[in-house]
Structure 1
Amino acid sequence: MTTTTLLIYVLAAVAAATWLRSRKQSPIPTIAEAEGVLSSHRTALRFLGNATDVVARGCHQFPEGVFRLPTLFRWEYVANGLQRLSEIAAAPENILSFHDGAADSLQTEYTIGAAVKHNPYHVATVRGSLTRNLARCFPDVRDEIVHAFNDVLALEGKEWKSFHVLPQVMQIVARTSNRLFVGLPLCRNQEFLDLNVNYTIHIFTRGQLIKLIPEFLKPTLAPWFSSKNSSLRHALKFLGPLLEERLAKDQELGADYPDRPNDAISWLLDIATDEERTVPALALRILVINMAAIHTSSTTLTSALYDLTMYPEHMQPMREEAERVIAEEGWSKASLASMHKIDSFLRESQRLSATGALGLTRRVVAKDGFTFSDGTTVPHGAFLSVPANAIHGDPDNYENPEVFDGFRFSRHRKQGSALADPEDTNVNGAVFTQHMVTTSPEHVAFGHGRHACPGRFFAATELKAMLAHMLINYDVKADVEGVRPSDMVFGAMRTPSATGKIMIRRRV
């Protein structure tokens, strides 16, 4: 018997034991096609390649219920219905753990490190300092967008050029984000940018591979897939001297010395304590903040550009809006708020492209499990999610949900504003729910509730500024007319094509 054959038998035995143990422990029903050991294994394999279809079957079978579906080594619990979603979103961390859910999705302990998993203090930096400083720092963001597009696209004249979307968008986003994170000149250092882009890719791709390994084998096998140690060593080459200088200045002069940089390093130093106030620990947080920013903004803008080439009728109205707003208000964070069509287009693209089969994943950490208001209990230790794609495609939530309608939300905002009574908070609240940054039970691209994406305000500012800049300065069209590059799907994760191209040319 070969080693490979033995490993296959071991994995099959582990999967079967897991299935049998989970079957006995939970009264939650499973989808019909996964009844029985062999059927559950077939469904688990189908989930890897077509999770959306597997989850959709469960939603059809249990339209307002909780159901289970098998993955290779455990059962996933899925809660259907907006009421259940709201209850999950409102549950405290000591009942349903967002951090455990995120750590499982990215296999944080192996891909990033245990310190980040157990003390995610950088989230407070993103939610607080980064968001508060967006208006003040916007001129730097705008400046870097202009330089990044010029350098990365490298267009000459007005000839059409093939644009390899996701890789080049990641470069633009990395540069723009790092203008706020570490400033000039490091934000334009190509080796540093490549490190952050590759780190982001490794976290998401290798995390999914590690997730396929049985738990008892992960301590042995996962390090072979992880790049966390080598990435941190590489990062210290660039960040080490800078962080040493900044730590020394804070130690000598305090946190309020004149001309202290207003960047992510300062924001981290404002709240980092004890073992987190070291060069390696701070460098790791810079990598992690980069990872989140690059992934979210790059995939969202890539999908939006694919959609723009598929639905070009949206281009001129958005271009006219951007040109009018800039002429009247100039480039600022505040002026972006007047670009309702651009905001709506990005939100609609998110609705149809930004989520996988499952979202709002939490781990049940309460010893007695998590009980919904109707009495349904999900057991301790289970991973609980909502059917994200199904929510965004539900006709009860959206009219003609299968249709891409880029101005869906701006139209609703306009209609709501026209009818709004200044004293009617319900109407005004309904208008606000159409904004890109606003989460709701019907729109979970940025999550929802107490753990909604803390960086969504930065992401929306960056994305709207980038799309407006592109519309004003460039024309785009599909690489192959009428063909949108296919999204990449693996299990519950979904991202836009990494190999897709569009055509682009300079307008002015």
Structure 2
Amino acid sequence: MSHLDIKRTLIYGLAAAIPIFYFRYRQKKVQGTIPALVESKGPISGPFSSLYFLWHATDVLAKGYHMDRSGIFQGTQMDYTITPEVVMNPYHGVAIRASLTRNLGRRFPEVRDEIVHAFDDVLALEDNEWKLVQVLPAILQVIARTSNRLFVGLPLCREQEYLDLNINFATDVNIRGQIIHLLPHFLKPILGPILSPRRSALRRMLKFLGPTLDARLEKENQYGPDWPERPARYQRPDLVAPRLRGQLSGDPFFSRGRVADGHKTLTSALYDLTAYPSHIVPMREEAERVVAQEGWTKAALGNMHKVDSFLRESQRLTGLSPVSMGRKVVAKDGFTFSDGMTLPHGATVMVPSGAMQLDEDIYPQAEVFDGFRFSRMREALPRDDAAGEGEGPSLFNRHMVSTAPDHLVFGHGRHACPGRFFAATELKAMLAHILINYDIKAETEGVRPPDTILVLYKTPSRTGKIWIRKRARGSNDKNGA
């Protein structure tokens, strides 16, 4: 048996055995005033309750939500899977908020250019013939290329080995982080480094970014932080600053993960679009009209209200997890809510966002997919005279990037996902590009590939396919295809 096979066997063995052990280890700590949905008393029922939750987490959470609407997660274990410095010094969040988001308009032509080339290369369509495409792997490649066009630029954003490192590292962090999370605390320092993909990812990443790091260090040692010809702040996302020697292994994760798992979001949207094809023509007409008037710009995307609404509705119904906004109790005495319920020190709590987004009291006909649900809300708003002679809608808080207590796809409050503006820009541009340039239809008419649900994770079908072909090039594309 090879070293790789032994390591894989160890990982799978731990994944299977640790949840039961960990359940018993944690059960004694999290008791008291917290109501239990799945009984876990006794040496036998406890492990079985844990296993039941593994396969029925969504149902259990929905039951809890409807029992008490007043209402667990350190999954990535970043101290081990990425690096502790990312937690102590979250430079990526500052960079995204302060620089990337502010410069999206100026950098959008690069995003648009990579979208065009990526779809052409990945889909490899011939003439106007229909092709059956496995959606998620194709969209993953497009998302990775487009995101890295901003992060590292040409030609590295099209280097397949570099893209594979980005993609695989982000996946490994989630999977192995969950396994490390289940370990008892005293075992994490021992097994965490063994299970972590960090070291191997860092070695491979230095192959691509090491020369750039060395050159930057040499320049800054020679001239200081303002050396001649230094790239302007966030002319390119500055992920190669000197301090990143210790943080570099986090870059592949954040360069993909910070766009809110965009490939899954767009894959779900395409499944929804082919399952409910009546949405195609209205959105296509909107996208063609806006592009004809304004060209391919970030500002133009803001006027594609139906496209925005469709993506938000797809997120609402097919979000990536039944829970969100994980928080850990750090106070030594625990935390007591206003109703008297107490969470002990070290406990984690999450919001049942999936159940909330299917609540009929919040969203009429919540189980029904209605891609223009939010664009109709926008149209129903009174006009805002302050915007100038009745032009422009009054304040609308149901954009794709808007967070709210009843829509937690991107979280909410001060810790809402900072990359959601980039994600929305990228995804809306891609969906509009597909609508204008391609015809699409379901592999089997009226059938949406089923999502995969495991515990607290939900992903669109990895094997799902749709039919796609090139459309005849229109004359209304102001800036080219």
**Distance in 2 of aligned mates of 1:326 and 1:7:** 49
What's 2:27 paired with? Answer: 19
**How far did residue 34 of structure 1 move?**
4.4
What's 1:437 paired with? Answer: 401
Pairing partner for 2:421 from 420, 445, 457: 457
1:240 aligns with 2:204: no
Matches within 5 A, 1:391-470: 391-418=356-383, 420=384, 422=386, 431-470=395-434
What's 1:87 paired with? Answer: none
TM-score by length of 1: 0.83
TM-score by length of 2: 0.87
CA deviation vs aligned residue, 1:106-149 (integer Å, no higher than 9, x gap): 12222212222332221111111111110110111111111111
What's 1:486 paired with? Answer: 450
- Contact kept? 2:18, 2:183, Cα under 8 Å: no
- Contact kept? 1:240, 1:280, Cα under 8 Å: no
**Distance in 2 of aligned mates of 1:183 and 1:9:** 43
Q: What's the % identity of the aligned pairs? A: 52
Matches within 5 A, 1:57-456: 57-64=63-70, 66=71, 101=73, 104-251=74-221, 252=223, 254-255=225-226, 257-258=228-229, 260=231, 263=234, 267-268=238-239, 277-278=242-243, 280-281=245-246, 283-293=248-258, 296-418=261-383, 420=384, 422=386, 431-456=395-420
**Distance in 1 of aligned mates of 2:141 and 2:61:** 34
CA deviation vs aligned residue, 1:350-369 (integer Å, no higher than 9, x gap): 10112412211100112332
**Distance in 2 of aligned mates of 1:238 and 1:6:** 33
What SS does the corresponding residue of 2:36 show, helix, strand or coil? coil
**Distance in 1 of aligned mates of 2:403 and 2:34:** 28
Using a 3 Å threshold, how does the CA distance of structure 1 residues 43 and 461 change in structure 2: closer, same or farther?
A: same
> Partner amino acid for 2:50?
A
- Contact kept? 1:181, 1:286, Cα under 8 Å: no
CA deviation vs aligned residue, 1:212-247 (integer Å, no higher than 9, x gap): 433333333333432111111001101111222234
**How far did residue 499 of structure 1 move?**
1.8
**How far did residue 37 of structure 1 move?**
5.2
- Contact kept? 1:180, 1:263, Cα under 8 Å: no
CA deviation vs aligned residue, 1:29-68 (integer Å, no higher than 9, x gap): 212644555444323212212211011122232233x4xx
Using a 3 Å threshold, how does the CA distance of structure 1 residues 451 and 329 change in structure 2: closer, same or farther?
A: same
- Contact kept? 1:178, 1:290, Cα under 8 Å: yes
**How far did residue 14 of structure 1 move?**
5.3
> Partner amino acid for 1:333?
K
**How far did residue 489 of structure 1 move?**
1.9
What SS does the corresponding residue of 1:502 show, helix, strand or coil? strand
- Contact kept? 1:165, 1:502, Cα under 8 Å: yes
What's 2:4 paired with? Answer: none
Using a 3 Å threshold, how does the CA distance of structure 1 residues 207 and 9 change in structure 2: closer, same or farther?
A: closer
Using a 3 Å threshold, how does the CA distance of structure 1 residues 128 and 406 change in structure 2: closer, same or farther?
A: same
What's 1:44 paired with? Answer: 50
**Distance in 1 of aligned mates of 2:19 and 2:109:** 54
Moved more, 287-296 or 356-365: 287-296
> Partner amino acid for 1:30?
A
Matches within 5 A, 1:489-504: 489-504=453-468
**How far did residue 429 of structure 1 move?**
10
> Partner amino acid for 2:377?
H
**Distance in 2 of aligned mates of 1:401 and 1:7:** 35
> Partner amino acid for 1:53?
D
> Partner amino acid for 1:109?
D
**Distance in 1 of aligned mates of 2:258 and 2:15:** 38
What's 1:97 paired with? Answer: none
**Distance in 2 of aligned mates of 1:44 and 1:339:** 45
Using a 3 Å threshold, how does the CA distance of structure 1 residues 247 and 488 change in structure 2: closer, same or farther?
A: farther
**How far did residue 477 of structure 1 move?**
1.1
Unaligned stretches of 5+ in structure 1?
67-75, 77-100
More helix by share: 1
What SS does the corresponding residue of 1:503 show, helix, strand or coil? strand
Using a 3 Å threshold, how does the CA distance of structure 1 residues 32 and 222 change in structure 2: closer, same or farther?
A: closer
CA deviation vs aligned residue, 1:232-265 (integer Å, no higher than 9, x gap): 1001101111222234344537447447266576
- Contact kept? 1:197, 1:294, Cα under 8 Å: no
What SS does the corresponding residue of 1:304 show, helix, strand or coil? helix
- Contact kept? 1:474, 1:507, Cα under 8 Å: yes
- Contact kept? 2:14, 2:179, Cα under 8 Å: no
**Distance in 2 of aligned mates of 1:116 and 1:219:** 18
